[in-house]
Amino acid sequence: MALSAKNKTTFVDGTLPRPIASNSLFLSWTRCNNMVMTSFSIEITQSIMFHDHASDMWTDLSKLFNQRNGPRVFQLKTHLHALQQGDHSVNNYFTKIKTLWDELKEFQPTTFCTCGALKSIHEFYNQDEVHQFMTSLNESYNSVRAQILLLDPLPPISKVCSMIVQGERQRTLGSSIPPLASVVQPHPNPNSQNN
């Protein structure tokens, strides 16, 4: 994303080859190429600093760090299975689980369909995400969780998260309001006489 924002992806994918030294663009190309090559962390750069082109560096990094799908998918699913809300807020917990879901989706095959079956697949994945999300919530959300599970069909995961956050706010608000008896103290009647 950073390279794309700076219009430098052509340096890493090799679609902008280095011009010959006599070309007027040679110095500009070299400066941009060097800028891309120095955008990596020092630890990574030390292992690939012998390259002259960002595209060669990128190819080397791809070979070095690109994991096979199987182990990474297993690792992501293990993290998902072990993830619990714990001391995290609902928003923080949702961000963590959504990050794992998004990365896992990168390994799923791209499917194109005109028959309408894709909608059913998306609904199934949504239900699965809703169940995963709510399973790992703290027990204090049991009542709102039960209400959501009664809905048919289940709302989208973003709506479910919003409902849980709303429940969290109501619970927090309820615990911060002192009981009515401690707020309203009876005023002594000025007309009453002390005995």
* Residuewise pLDDT in 10s, the chain (195 residues): 777 788 888 888 888 888 898 999 899 988 888 888 777 666 666 666 677 788 888 787 777 666 567 888 899 999 999 999 999 989 999 999 999 998 888 877 666 667 777 788 888 888 999 999 999 999 988 888 899 999 988 999 999 999 998 888 877 776 555 554 544 455 555 555 555
Question: Rounded to whole angstroms, how far apart are CA atoms 5 and 24?
Answer: 25
First to last CA, the chain: 82
pTM given for the model: 0.55
Q: What are phi and psi of 52, to 5 degrees?
A: -100, -20
Question: Rounded to whole angstroms, how far apart are CA atoms 86 and 10?
Answer: 44
Q: Can you read off the two tokens belonging to residue 164?
A: 């849980």
Question: Rounded to whole angstroms, how far apart are CA atoms 59 and 13?
Answer: 8
In single-letter form, the type of residue at position 182 comes to S
Instruction: Provide long-range contacts, Cβ within 8 A and 24+ apart, for 63-69.
Output: 69/107
